[in-house]
Structure 1
Amino acid sequence: MYLAHISEDGRMQSVKEHLENTAKMASDFAKPIHLEKHAYISGLLHDVGKYTDGFQKRLHGGAKVDHSTAGAMEAYKRRMLIESFCVAGHHSGLPNGGGRADIQGSSLNARIKRANKERLEPDKEWEREITLPECDACSNDLLELSYDIRMVYSCLVDADFLDTEQFMTGITDRGRDFDVTAMEAALKNYISPWYPAKTELNKLRCEILDHVISEGIKLKRGLYTLTVPTGGGKTVASLAFAIEHAKRNNLNRIIYVIPYTSIIEQTADIFREILGKERVLEHHSSVDYGEDEDSLFYSRATENWDMPVIVTTSVQFFESFYKNRSSSSRKLHNVANSVIVFDEAQMLPVPYMRPCILLLTELVRRYSASVVLCTATQPSLNKIIKELYPEYEHYELCPEEYYINDLFRRVTFEFDQTYSVEKLVSCLNNNEQYLCIVNSRAAAQLIYESMRGDGCFHLSTNMYPAHRKRVLNEIRQRLKKGMECKVVSTSLIEAGVDVDFPCVYRQISGLDSLLQAGGRCNREGKRNKTESIVHVFDLECGSPEMFSMQIAASKHVLEKYADITSKDAVSLYFEELFYLKGSNALDQNEIITQLKNNNLPFKDISDQFNLIENNTRTLYIDVNESDRLIEKARLGVAGKNDYRQLGQYGVNIYEYQYLKLKEHCAVDDLENGNCVLIDSSLYSDEVGLNLIFKNGEAIMI
């Protein structure tokens, strides 16, 4: 008997049993997307390379052997292209297809050629034990084929892992049922105290909520926009739509995609309050999973998203689809047949805009998903969507009469002069409570140092997440009690962070940022609109180059519209921004061109698709709460969950900053490429990472 696995307690699983279990599970995963036969055959073939003497010796301590290429070769001989890619990459990641002449390297063609040359074939016993059905034809459209391969790959690697995990460890507690009727009841219970509404503003919020619920009940799967003004109850309204829409269309789960972890934490807390902790999975790099069994369940759930509601980041969502690794791909089949809500949709990354939109259209068009682009400032994406998805017809879930209602116009925008830091601080000090948002960490730190005192706060990504969370909690308490509260921040506070200031100062930036900043002023409408001022200004020192096009597009709109909050102004802003950047800038690495390439370069695309700059590394701050985790990292025994918890104490730094810190012996290196700050004088409770050395030398931040 050929064996696939031997457990620590000596139990044995045959290759035949593992292949059949994996094939059945993968096929079940693929049913909603009608790729079940491709998934089934991939499951049957993925480990036929274990029908070899070399692998059987490996199970007993022998040398490592390649057991993936044999199955890929068997699929290739039978012209099963999807199966060949999936089997070849089920451990090492989806490979490039490669050219016909390839013989060296890791491309699929090169591996198949070398396997033929070296006669790398499994024992014929596999054909006596395993019967392959006839294969379905695959798409002739290379772009469609590339996504089909990714989906089948996801079904295969998740099924392979789950069957192996269950045999080796006995873990079966995975996933939670999507009980949409119970979720609907929980939502109704949560919102019932809102009716009848007691104020005009709350009455309008309830009308929006009722309208969006009715849309969810009647609409079929599709791609929709939901444009709700700041303060209009967007978070609960979008969840209500998703629940009713999932019920109406028999969808399997709800996925929330959000740009910033600060918003994710806030949104996940709201969803847990509404639906219960057991239904909500929060997945991002900084989520703090504990070590008890309940926490380990949620940690395992991040691997494949087999949960009713997932709240995650744009980076996690899009990179899962465009990276080639098996670990990141396991969840893709669970994205199909879901409601996917993109909160703060205006934050879709411009250099990857076209491949991101293409993915969304494919999920709707071919994988039974519904997508909702949800924001208070809807970007003008219709032209791009229509180009990639010609049959698309725009449908807005929130009628315009709600958007333009005066009750949502709670602030007045004023356009100030260009200030020196000293002059700006002088203006700021005329207020007991204010929020000032600037375009760089350096400017935020400089302004804060000029205004520091009791009731003054600084917020930026120079502070580790747990530190920012503590400061935000204190800010909210002071605002609630009417105490002095003066805050200078980078843009991290403006998208979705629930704070309410009587006045806001915003350095000129993109129009979407200006409007988001306005959402932090008079948020609850308790003050008069004419007294709630959002001051738009510039600094003499200017802004980083990365903001130049956004600022230019905003100035173009300011010349044409007195009311920058109007839909026409917002639409013009995004059209101008995309025009200034040019169509090539919306797909800077030509991902879509590569997706249409005959060689199907999965690994190349994976290397190039990076929503976060990859020239940074994480600097961990050693404080009482993190010292145990840092010690495990130093000893090389920290696991994935340890690093997730450690993320709450990390600050991203650029390579030049790291090198300067090394030069001053201020950091210790860790084996994963990140580092620990050992010069505690460089981190302060007020501004976080403050890269000014004792000799007065400063690193630009």
Structure 2
Amino acid sequence: MQPDDTDLPNATHEKALRLVRLLELLKLKPWTAQQLATALGVRKRAVLYYLEDLKELEPYLGFRLLHDEIRHTYALNAGVLLSDIDKVVAHTALRMLYHHSSGHNQQYLEAMLKLARGLPEPARTVAQRSAESMAARGPGLEGSNLEKITNAWFRRQLVQFHYQLPGRREPTKFELETYFIEVSRANMAVYVIGRERSYKNELRTFKLARMQFVTLVGSTEAYEIPASFDPREYLSDAWGIVGGGGNPVRVKLRFLPSAVQRIREGGYPNLRELEQRDDGSLVVEVTVGTDEGGFPIELLSWVQSWGPRVEVLEPEFFRQRWLEEAVAVAELYSSDRNLGSTANGSYWAHTPRKDDPRQRWQPLREHLEAVAGLARDFAAQFNVPAASELAYWLGILHDLGKYSQEFQDYLRAAYRADRFGSPPPAGKVDHSSAGAVLGRDLLLAGYEDDLIPANGLGSELAWVVAYHHGRIGDRSLLTDRLLRRRESPEVRQALDRACEELEDIFGGVAPEVAELEPLAREFFIRMLLSALVDADRLDTERFWSPRRYAYRTAPKANLQELLARVKEGQEKIRSADTLVNRARWEIYQAALEAAALEPGFFRLTVPTGGGKTRSSLAFALEHAVKFGLRRVVYAVPYTSIIDQTAEEFAKLLGAENVLEHHSAYEPADAEEESRARLASENWDMPVVVTTTVQLFESLLSNNPSKLRKIHNLAGSVIVLDEVQTLPANLLQPTLDVLKELVRHYRVSVVLCTATQPALDAPLGFAMLEGVREIVPDPRRYFRQLKRVAYRLELQPQPWEAVAERLRGHDQVLCIVNTKQQARDLYAALDDPEAVHLSTHMYPAHRREVLAAIRDRLKRNLPCRVVSTQLVEAGVNLDFPMVYRALGPLDSVVQAAGRCNREGRLERGGQPVLGEVTVFRPEREGLPQGVYASATGLARNLLRQGADLDDPELFTRYFTELYRDLTHTDAKEVQSFRQQFNYPKVAELYRLIGDNTFPVLVRKRAQDAAAIDRILSQHTGFMALRKLQPYIVNIYASNKEKLAPFIREMTELDVELWEWTGNYSEKLGIEELFDAGDSVV
């Protein structure tokens, strides 16, 4: 069908004129159909018909109509008439590009055939036959890449691709605005020049053959190529493969007479003759581009291709690299295998990093002295005589085994394998035993050489050196190892060489350290090992990853600045003058005043809602500033509440000053992830928010990676939030570690809770001593902040009766003791709008449900919630009515903290109390052990009329509870500590039983994409860490029963299962139920 105006008189003539006008417009720039219609004075539909006509005329008029489907524009690609000479030039250039491509390039071939068809005979037949024979080459990526890049360039559309940078193990992902496609005159390779948008937002060059998985980014936003852009600036210094990023350097070379003629004939870019010497050699200067590290990597292989016919004169770092690689080649292939095993008579600690332009090896002495200095500085925070001097010695001793020829050969073999692909060295070389042997002999006066002084320290300190790279073993294994290695030739050689090179250090006096009690000594070894491990890894990082080291050690805010921010934040709260805020202000002021007390143990007893979190932080910062302490470590018992604590601190202090370290932490972006990963290794941050599990299990671990951080607890304030949750069966080792930190490591400890346990009561074992109350007369604030009235119903009730009561309230929270109870009550409630919460739901799901609960409460909508204990300690919920199944007394009061939390309930304009009903379920099914004992004690006290608003009640409650317990060190951890059995201590000291296994839940569409992204990018423990928000931990006793519903994810190389059964939006994992299940 034709457009309407073709029916008019002279329509054909008019149409022809418009087609000519349309061609002229399309030559100028891209147009939309509507813009063309306006310019031609016709309807848009007519323009579309005209464009169809032009498409049919393409073969006859020598142009190509381009349609950009993303931006909906049209443009004309007019043909260019070529002379025969033009065709020969273009054809020859294409053949050169084809020969230099990495494989068959269909685009080059098709272009050659088109040009060949336009040549006169006999050139046409020969060119066509030659071009067709080229197709036999193996395929390459350049052709498809060129087509996609060209389309993106013409459309001004972003491309996304992976790129193999020199020196990198894995390809890097980039986004690029294409400005130009250029050929390097040095290697005839095709390069794309443009602005990369992924990292530095700067102009870069990329070799087409190295680009992988090229895709166009679907965006309607067209970029602009700057008018100042000149492609000549970007490959003028190139010599081959362009890594990009560095400034050009001048390299001076001397070619022997046998190579001079070829150099002069080569036409090499940027090569300038400087001097023809009398011996016939030629000195030249080459200006060449460098990689991101400032090294002319692309020139090195070219220089090496001239073999002995060239000498690098300068710069020195390039000459040194050229010589080292020449030595490595000779060493690798020479019959003399000992050639160059130690360069210049030196001993090395670490091989050069790949991106170091100078390829510098780290001298062993440099590393030993650097580690010793750092360890000494770390141990200076210890309140143990001569600890810093001893740490220095351990730093010197830790890598003495690297002096052995065995290790030096190993190091160079590893270097050759990494750089040149030669076979890697077999196995590892023991480099810690030599230092441990020397340390043991030195400290026991057992070394025969008069050069080595001695004192009377015990052999336990050899652990610090022997296990700085591996888990601490037991005493018998270490003794056997040292006796076996002591007389080995490798150890003797290493010690002889060390004594010769370090004579000035060993000529000093070994430190005398005061004798310590066995438990204190056991812990001192942990702290020394922590200082050594951190020092060793930091210096290695400084040498191998200087950027990462600089990022880690960048200046941080001091505690005085953070304290000022807290005070400013408190002033804002003070402006809201309510009864609750007045009490919070008084508690906060009392905390600031108490901060002037000498370091030690403190107790902050504050009713729920009394501003405990902020007041404890203010105390910790003020106290740290007053006494020159370095950081605040805030430990909370549950991951379910750590997020809100860390978020509150981050808002108050700045996210860059707060480290959130726990298993379920998920950083917001890559920068935050990098910062958190580095800081979590050694807790070198002003404020650390972590879990009590992470804190105490690190302190009593035998894993160097976990122990690494604990030396940074020295000189800090540790705040233990909800301290009543410390497990009673591990009370003795837990309190002993706290006492040791206070006594010998300049630590102050704050015990925070509304229900203080009797940790300083005389109970037949060493409890805490000298605990001081931060807030005088806590009773006054419990009365002042009384926001609930308790109702006791201790006669057993069926779930149906409890459910009936809950249905009578619009907003009500009911907390029960086990997950099975939560399911039973939720079923009895039979309310589709009700909410269930338990750890049968994975953390991300629970967070989503909690957010929905808070939203409904805020908007005063009906909200009935049945939950396990996971919401009762520290979770910010505020219900007018709370029901609590009879349980431990502290749990009952903590549950009451979710009722009328802000004291805003009123009736008729007058404040009223919230209601907390304590009921006894007919089917209790309590977890056995301490939980059942505590619940029985609570029942007796409540029957006696106990006042739950009296903080003194909990002193009596916990005193009786601890006294009735058979063991407060049920696993005999203290006994194993006295035996220095570090592996057994780490095995037995578990705040949370480890008889569970992790199960990934990928059943909800809203989280599936995030899970799939993690699984596509990570494996092993990194994947397990990042998947924590989507994991449910299930008791191992249920594994057999649940076998039909789980699949082991063996592809991740880590212990993880995937849930294949049903997962309910309301209940979580449906097939899982256990009457004796855990409390959360």
The interval holding the TM-score normalised by the smaller chain is over 0.9
State yes or no: 1:300 paired with 2:664.
no
State yes or no: 1:607 paired with 2:987.
yes
The one-letter code matched in structure 2 to 1:76 is: R
Secondary structure at 1:586 match in 2: coil
Higher mean C-alpha deviation, range 256-265 or range 394-403 = 394-403
How far apart, in 2, do the equivalents of 1:522 and 1:488 lie?
17
CA contact (8 A) 2:842 2:1031 kept: yes
How do 1:231-380 and structure 2 match up within 5 A?
A: 231-289=609-667, 292-380=670-758
The one-letter code matched in structure 2 to 1:159 is: A
How far apart, in 2, do the equivalents of 1:273 and 1:633 lie?
28
Which of 128, 132, 137 is matched with 2:500 structurally? 128
CA contact (8 A) 1:228 1:376 kept: yes
CA contact (8 A) 1:619 1:674 kept: no
The one-letter code matched in structure 2 to 1:566 is: D
How far apart, in 2, do the equivalents of 1:290 and 1:56 lie?
43
CA contact (8 A) 1:38 1:83 kept: no
Q: C-alpha offsets along residues 535-589 of structure 1, whole Å, 9 cap, x if unaligned?
A: 111222213333311111112322333312312321121112112212xx21111
In structure 2, do the counterparts of structure 1 residues 85 and 324 end up closer, same or farther at CA, with 3 Å as the change threshold?
Answer: same
The one-letter code matched in structure 2 to 1:532 is: G
Secondary structure at 2:813 match in 1: strand
Tell me what 2:573 maps to.
194
Tell me what 1:205 maps to.
584
In structure 2, do the counterparts of structure 1 residues 403 and 2 end up closer, same or farther at CA, with 3 Å as the change threshold?
Answer: farther
Secondary structure at 1:232 match in 2: coil
Which of 878, 886, 889 is matched with 1:508 structurally? 886
TM-score, structure 1 as length reference: 0.93
Tell me what 1:594 maps to.
976
- Report the Cα offset of residue 243 of structure 1: 1.0
Tell me what 1:12 maps to.
361
Secondary structure at 1:660 match in 2: coil
Tell me what 1:542 maps to.
924
The one-letter code matched in structure 1 to 2:704 is: S
CA contact (8 A) 2:1020 2:1053 kept: no
- Report the Cα offset of residue 402 of structure 1: 5.3
- Report the Cα offset of residue 645 of structure 1: 2.2
Tell me what 1:37 maps to.
389
State yes or no: 1:562 paired with 2:955.
no
How far apart, in 2, do the equivalents of 1:624 and 1:45 lie?
55
Tell me what 1:649 maps to.
1030
In structure 2, do the counterparts of structure 1 residues 660 and 636 end up closer, same or farther at CA, with 3 Å as the change threshold?
Answer: farther
Tell me what 1:573 maps to.
957
Secondary structure at 2:875 match in 1: coil
Secondary structure at 2:772 match in 1: coil
The one-letter code matched in structure 2 to 1:189 is: E
CA contact (8 A) 2:435 2:465 kept: yes
How do 1:62-77 and structure 2 match up within 5 A?
A: 62-63=425-426, 64-77=428-441
- Report the Cα offset of residue 625 of structure 1: 6.2
The one-letter code matched in structure 1 to 2:369 is: E
Secondary structure at 2:904 match in 1: coil
The one-letter code matched in structure 2 to 1:589 is: K
Runs ≥4 in structure 1, deviation > 6 angstroms?
Answer: 632-636, 697-700
- Report the Cα offset of residue 291 of structure 1: 5.7
CA contact (8 A) 1:629 1:638 kept: no
Which of 156, 163, 166 is matched with 2:532 structurally? 156
How far apart, in 1, do the equivalents of 2:763 and 2:1074 lie?
46
How far apart, in 2, do the equivalents of 1:535 and 1:545 lie?
22
How far apart, in 2, do the equivalents of 1:625 and 1:18 lie?
50
- Report the Cα offset of residue 671 of structure 1: 4.9
The one-letter code matched in structure 2 to 1:468 is: R
State yes or no: 1:47 paired with 2:399.
yes
How far apart, in 1, do the equivalents of 2:625 and 2:841 lie?
42
- Report the Cα offset of residue 289 of structure 1: 2.6
The one-letter code matched in structure 1 to 2:439 is: A
How far apart, in 2, do the equivalents of 1:352 and 1:457 lie?
35
Secondary structure at 2:812 match in 1: strand
Structure 2 gaps, min length 5:
1-345, 414-423, 444-456
Q: C-alpha offsets along residues 504-527 of structure 1, whole Å, 9 cap, x if unaligned?
A: 111111000000001011111122
Q: C-alpha offsets along residues 459-518 of structure 1, whole Å, 9 cap, x if unaligned?
A: 111111111111001100101111000000000100000101111111111000000001
How far apart, in 2, do the equivalents of 1:24 and 1:371 lie?
29
CA contact (8 A) 2:1020 2:1052 kept: no
How far apart, in 1, do the equivalents of 2:582 and 2:748 lie?
29
Tell me what 1:102 maps to.
none
Tell me what 1:460 maps to.
838
CA contact (8 A) 2:1014 2:1026 kept: no
How far apart, in 2, do the equivalents of 1:322 and 1:698 lie?
32
State yes or no: 1:484 paired with 2:865.
no
- Please, what is the CA RMSD of the aligned residues? 2.3
Tell me what 2:152 maps to.
none
CA contact (8 A) 2:1021 2:1054 kept: no
Tell me what 2:347 maps to.
2
How far apart, in 2, do the equivalents of 1:491 and 1:699 lie?
16
Q: How many residues in Structure 1 have an aligned counterpart in Structure 2?
A: 682
Secondary structure at 2:660 match in 1: strand
State yes or no: 1:399 paired with 2:748.
no
Structure with max Cα Rg: 2
How do 1:414-493 and structure 2 match up within 5 A?
A: 414-416=791-793, 417-493=795-871
CA contact (8 A) 1:229 1:403 kept: no
Secondary structure at 1:255 match in 2: strand
CA contact (8 A) 2:778 2:951 kept: no
Q: C-alpha offsets along residues 221-248 of structure 1, whole Å, 9 cap, x if unaligned?
A: 1111010111111011101111110111
CA contact (8 A) 1:632 1:638 kept: no
How far apart, in 2, do the equivalents of 1:422 and 1:153 lie?
58
CA contact (8 A) 2:844 2:1030 kept: yes
CA contact (8 A) 2:783 2:949 kept: no
Q: C-alpha offsets along residues 247-269 of structure 1, whole Å, 9 cap, x if unaligned?
A: 11000000001101122111111
Query: Which structure is richer in relative contact order (CA contacts within 8 A, separation 6 or more)?
Result: 1
Higher mean C-alpha deviation, range 77-86 or range 368-377 = 77-86
CA contact (8 A) 2:818 2:1076 kept: no
How far apart, in 2, do the equivalents of 1:639 and 1:674 lie?
9
State yes or no: 1:111 paired with 2:484.
no
Secondary structure at 2:381 match in 1: helix
Secondary structure at 1:435 match in 2: strand
Q: C-alpha offsets along residues 625-681 of structure 1, whole Å, 9 cap, x if unaligned?
A: 6656756887894265443221011110111322333245655456555333342x4
CA contact (8 A) 1:86 1:149 kept: yes
Tell me what 1:674 maps to.
1055
In structure 2, do the counterparts of structure 1 residues 83 and 17 end up closer, same or farther at CA, with 3 Å as the change threshold?
Answer: farther
Q: C-alpha offsets along residues 80-138 of structure 1, whole Å, 9 cap, x if unaligned?
A: 5354110011011222223xxxxxxxx22121122135455142211122223412225
CA contact (8 A) 1:661 1:667 kept: no
How far apart, in 1, do the equivalents of 2:558 and 2:901 lie?
34
- Report the Cα offset of residue 343 of structure 1: 0.5
Higher mean C-alpha deviation, range 338-347 or range 30-39 = 30-39
How far apart, in 2, do the equivalents of 1:569 and 1:90 lie?
48
The one-letter code matched in structure 2 to 1:440 is: T
The one-letter code matched in structure 1 to 2:480 is: A
CA contact (8 A) 1:378 1:570 kept: yes
Which of 904, 907, 914 is matched with 1:532 structurally? 914
Tell me what 1:660 maps to.
1041
